[in-house]
Amino acid sequence: MRSSHPAAQASSRLDQLRRSDPALRRRLLEVRTWALANGAAVDVDAMTVVLGTIERDRHAGFDPARWTKARVFEFVWGRCVHWCLEHGTRVPPGSPEALEQYWAYLSASRAFSPGSDEPAVLVRTLRSSGGVTPPARRPRRSRAPQAQGPALRA
């Protein structure tokens, strides 16, 4: 029986997109592997939106590893929303946090492109734009405590 709940429908649509796009699946696996190795969980739907939007931007000529303060606002409040509309899904609530986690991945991989703003500047910009719960205020999982991955200082 299919769920009629909008969140379940959005998740189902994102799952279909992951299955149909091997490059997206591969990038998601890379980020999830890094996160899990560092004791962090990944919101798969939110990270799918972030990585899908980054991939679309790459095809439009954006460097996927070059991040500036100006790009943060446009990406979160414009490009992610547009990507979701194109793919018939909603923007998952954890998308800004997934972007922050993606930057931690880039930072740990030393993969930021020249011309990028410092990760701490990007995080401050993202958090000041709204929609992000600072890590200390995020709800804790009921599982046993896990080691935190590399943190970006805001």
Could you read off the pLDDT of 64-76 as tens digits, one per residue? 999 999 999 889 8
Our separate counts of H helices and E strands in the chain read 7, 0
* Dist CA 13 CA 19 (whole Å): 10
pLDDT digits (tens, 9 = 90+) for 97-141: 999 999 999 999 999 999 999 999 999 999 988 766 555 444 444
* Dist CA 143 CA 106 (whole Å): 27
CA 97 to each of CA 56, 114, 126: distance values in angstroms, whole numbers, following the listed order: 20, 23, 9
CA 13 to each of CA 16, 17, 92, 152: distance values in angstroms, whole numbers, following the listed order: 5, 6, 12, 31
The model's pTM is: 0.78
Give phi and psi for 10, each to the nearest 5. -65, -45
Residue 108 contacts residue 34 (beta carbons within 8 Å): yes
Residue 11 contacts residue 49 (beta carbons within 8 Å): no
Residue 17 contacts residue 87 (beta carbons within 8 Å): yes
Task: Identify which of 117, 17, 25, 30 has the alpha carbon closest to the alpha carbon of residue 65.
Answer: 117
The most confident of 5-19, 88-102, 125-139, by mean pLDDT: 88-102
Q: Which residue has the tokens 């993202």?
A: 126
Average of pLDDT values for 49-69? 94
pLDDT band, residue 17 (cuts 50/70/90): confident
